[in-house]
Structure 1
Amino acid sequence: MRFKSFAVALLLGFSTVAAARQASADVHAQQVFELWLAAYNSGERDALQTFLADYKVGQDAQRFLDIRQSLGTFKLVGVKSSTEDSAQLMLLSEMTDRGVLATLDLDPADRFDVTKLQLEGMDLPDEFKPQRMRLAQVLAAGEARLDAARAADTLSGALAVAKDGKLLMSWHGGAADREHAIGVDETTRFRLASLNKMFTAVAILQLQEAGKLSLDDKIALHLKNYPNQQIAEAVSIRQLLNHTSGLGDVFGEEFEKRSQSLRTLNDYWSLASATPLGSTPGSEDGYSNYGYILLGSIIEAVSGQSYYDYVDQHIYRVAGMSATGSEPESTAVPGRAVAYTKVDGKWAQETKTLPWRGTSAGGGYSTVGDMLKFAEALRAGRLISPTSLGLATAPQNNKGWYGYGFMVSGQGAQRQYGHEGGAPGANASLVVLPAQGYVVVGLSNVDPGAMENVVNFIVNRLPL
């Protein structure tokens, strides 16, 4: 049986191990990966589960189906390394333009035992990236994608493209409130999810510039009443900022049970302060919402203001962001969109995962116009100095994908920074290409990654 027939057998649900052993005992890691890729791209649960069981992967098919929902199918575009026992393959997400590095290792003593199957983001080499287009073409193509998604009822939201502060494209569409037939317009306020982390990081850098803290300060220096002083004495502000603290998440089942009683940032301590560190501070990258909760608490301790008052006074007002805030969900906020998530294939209001109010880790709200103002205030040096902005938007963690409050990638003309945010009923993305002065912002009130996929499509094709 040839390899191609082996892949067909997989998709038909036959035993991959039986087919492989009939073919040859000399199975290479890359061949096994390509079998997984065929099953993944098929989107068939049975095909995935058969592969995972036959190759002793120890992961559930639903995990990969969830990834496929977010990233779509993968195209194998290159080989980083390949031996009999291990392969690293470069993949392109055809739906999102994202690069993915896939690693598959085999047990040398058992060619049908996958000891590692890992997917992680990567910056693809230039030859595998989408081709750049003329400005008018990319804007038209982006608008066509937005219109198609709105027509298919897979997206509601707003998107804008600007260059050097001049608006090049503005789009909005879909429903802000389905029950009351209110459409999205330029004044609609969308939940930002993790985009709030940029505000939190800017606030910390402002306080550093004012001499009120150092990024190398330990948590304990500023949060003297933190209930786990052992961790507080081990983790620095810098490690909170760049997601190398070893702290974990704070949003999960326990949060959902208690969300309405968590009304201050310090209330969140009870959810995670007793949890041991997952790694030695500084040694590993690990995205931590809880770390940004603690940064908010530090801002309060150092400034003497609530987190909300501080960012309003020192960020929103300075940038002219009059439609941005974090008022509680129980407060009527004019123009704030209703969050919608898919349940059994239909849009339903999302309430379970919403916090009582937005936090320093995410959950506030804004408009596309206000987020453009934020990006321009940053670029103009009105919020933090150019030196601080340069550090915040340069790689600062181990794998180089995060600075201080900003996701970062690329070099030279392709350098970009910003943030993405996603949660049930919210998907937001802001990307700045500083060399060209481009800013692309997309906000929506539906699940990830409908809006961020369009933002990435535009960003990856803008002329440089």
Structure 2
Amino acid sequence: MKKFLKIFSITILVIVLMSIVALLLFGRNNHSNLSGSVSEKIDQYLTNEKFQGTVLIAKEGEVLFTKGYGLAATDLPNSPSTLYQVASLSKTFTAVAVMQLVEKELLNLDNPISQYFPDFPNGETITISHLLSHSSGISDYLKENFEFDYSKEWNPNDIVNTVSDSELEFTPGKSFSYSNTGYVMLGLIIEKVSGQSYANYIEEHIFEPCNMFNSMFTVPADIPKAEGHIEGKVGPLIHNSAAYAAGDIISTVEDLELFDRALHNHVLISKETAELMSMTHAKKFPYQYGYGWFTQDVMGEKAVGHSGGYPSGFRHYITRLKDEELTVIVLSNEMTVNSKRINRNLTSIVLQQPIWLWEEQL
């Protein structure tokens, strides 16, 4: 028996050592199959990945690379000016709008939402800060148990009502759970405080100051836009009211870069407010969230970022590395594309640093 245990222990040790060696040898991608300039390597990488969508990479306020790949729709190639439903990338816009109202002293982050939703259960214990950081405990109306119908037109108050009878998932402020409902509520609060519709507020106070002339909430019939795809086929119909302030903005990579630049240059909010947004206010492994941003370490660099996706066939990811002043925007109109992994590898190529396999998902 002792001999068996000794052999077993040695075998396990050998397996562990071999696994470590294999990880060191093969667990890091240095993109050695790519050649030429950084831009040429980026293009080769995206071509090799058979990427469908558009990418923009900017550093220190200058666009380093931007290009579209594949089709946005029939006979319409993807390009830097292609319009996409940016889905949850909209949440950063909503958070910025809230923070603008805070700076104007029209809102306070510690205000209970009962001031704006007097009939919402537990509203006196949930604050605007909790909504911004997904730490409210309010259920997400897009979870399967609510059987949300994406195809019909929705009033945002009706969206909130779909979860009003549900118990909180946890005590507000004590954990993190991504809640689209919370951002729908923030959109309604923006309307109540500003006296404008959510769309009009965003257009006047964010799109216009950023010169985002190709961003909107409804695309006119004569303007082409990207169609979502799932494994090459056009995705199901999603009504543009289904996400409201949680994800209804339509934009381009070029306009999103203008938004990012305006934030960095403090055109929309102060430096202090921008720093507050990028601080971690809620977390639950492996997620950390500020106000409208996931807070992250990307390849050893402090960063903020956000994902975006629609079941109609869109997958997006944006990341900004603070000290490097590097912004990577990946918009895809193919659901099977892992935009976050693409984003991380593009970051690796630009920084000219190898990337560990697990770093692709951090």
TM-score range, shorter chain: 0.7 to 0.9
Alpha-carbon separation, structure 1, partners of 2:296 and 2:30: 17
Q: Using the TM superposition, give the Cα deviation of residue 339 of structure 1 relative to its aligned residue in structure 2, in angstroms.
A: 1.0
Match of 2:275 among 386, 390, 396: 390
Amino acid at match of 1:297: L
Query: Is contact 1:423–1:448 with CA below 8 Å preserved after alignment?
Result: no
Residue type of the alignment partner of 2:290: G
Given candidates 101, 108, 111, the residue that maps to 1:217 is 111
Distance of aligned partners of 1:279 and 1:393 in 2 relative to their CA distance in 1, 3 Å threshold: same
Of 33, 54, 79, 1:158 maps to 54
- Counterpart of 1:459 in structure 2 is 347
Equivalent residues of 1:132, 1:463 under 8 A apart: no
1:223 positional shift? 2.7
- Does residue 409 (structure 1) correspond to residue 309 (structure 2)? The answer is no
Q: Residues of 1 paired with 2:172 and 2:315: CA distance?
A: 30
- Name stretches of at least 5 consecutive residues in structure 2 with no aligned partner: 353-362
Distance in 1 between residues matched to 2:188 and 2:35, nearest whole Å: 43
SS at match of 1:172: strand
TM-score of the aligned structures, taking structure 2 as reference length: 0.82
Verify: 1:350 aligned to 2:235, yes or no.
Answer: yes
C-alpha displacement at 1:318, in angstroms? 0.9
How many angstroms does 1:390 deviate by? 0.5
CA contact (8 A) 1:341 1:349 kept: yes
Distance 1:335 1:198 in 2: 25
**Contact between 2:153 and 2:239, CA under 8 Å: does it hold in 1?**
no
1:427 is aligned to 2:318: no
Q: How many residues align?
A: 336
TM-superposed CA distance for 1:131, in Å, is: 6.1
- Distance (whole Å) between structure 1 residues aligned to residue 182 and residue 299 of structure 2: 30
Contact 2:134 2:179 in 1 (8 A): yes
1:407-462 deviation digits (Å, cap 9, x = unpaired): 11129971111211123311111111121221111111111543332111112443
Which whole-Å CA distance do the structure 2 matches of 1:165 and 1:304 have between them?
A: 34
Q: SS where residue 420 of structure 1 aligns?
A: strand
The CA distance in 1 between the partners of 2:251 and 2:151, in whole Å, is: 22
In the alignment, which residue of structure 1 is the partner of 2:227? 338
Spell out, residue by residue over 1:236-274, the C-alpha distance to the aligned partner (whole angstroms, 9 max, x if none): 111111111111211255776643544332121221111
Distance 1:198 1:204 in 2: 10
Residue 69 (structure 2) aligns with? 173
Match of 1:242 in 2: 133
Q: Higher relative contact order by CA 8 Å / sep ≥ 6: 1 or 2?
A: 2
CA shift, 1:401, in A, is 1.5
Question: Are positions 1:376 and 2:224 aligned together?
Answer: no
Distance 1:325 1:395, change over 3 A: same
Does the aligned pair in 2 maintain the 1:256–1:353 contact within 8 Å?
no
1:47-196 equivalence runs, <5 A: 138-150=38-50, 155-178=51-74, 181-196=75-90
Query: Which residue in 2 is equivalent to 1:283?
Result: 174
CA apart distance, 1:137: 5.2
What's the TM-score once normalised by structure 1's chain length? 0.65
What amino acid sits opposite 1:401 in the alignment?
Q
Q: CA deviation at 1:304?
A: 1.1
Change (3 A) 1:221 1:257: closer
Q: CA 1:396 to 1:222, structure 2 compared with 1: closer, same or farther past 3 Å?
A: same
